[in-house]
Structure 1
């Protein structure tokens, strides 16, 4: 929430934002626009937990098996996870964003 609020400058929030969707397999999808933010263009190591390295989220499952896929495509952070993994998706973005901000503040 703090990261989103920090981006709101009476312009960015009219074109960009954060989207949380549901998946039909079942699960969650998270898309965060990085355009015009300090995170745009920064390296993100993709996360594949509970799935093989895949281009898209897995299909099937009953929701009891945790899984997570996160990556940056162009200028968007994208993440997918099981129906109990929304918090993990948000935490994955938050950890990366806070780490990048900390590195910038420390000059590394």
Structure 2
């Protein structure tokens, strides 16, 4: 075996761990997205509870209007985020390779 090939084999073996993927903790964006999704679900659930209690006469109509306005705002926000994500995805698909 040639000294140069032995040296190359040693360098290759030493660089192998650098090429292996390292498990990373969830990125901050992932945790923020999970928090956002949970907050959205909680807002919709609260609106459902308020509307059910209003129908049964346990809550005032003002609370129902407020809950519906909050849920409408939440849905509009989610739709806007979805539209931006789809737009970004389509932009990526149009990029030349």
Q: Which has the higher helix share?
A: 2
Q: Which has the higher strand share?
A: 1
Using the size of structure 1 for normalisation, the TM-score is 0.31
Choose between structure 1 and 2 for higher RCO, CA contacts under 8 A separated by at least 6 residues: 1
Question: Which has the higher Rg, Structure 1 or Structure 2?
Answer: 2
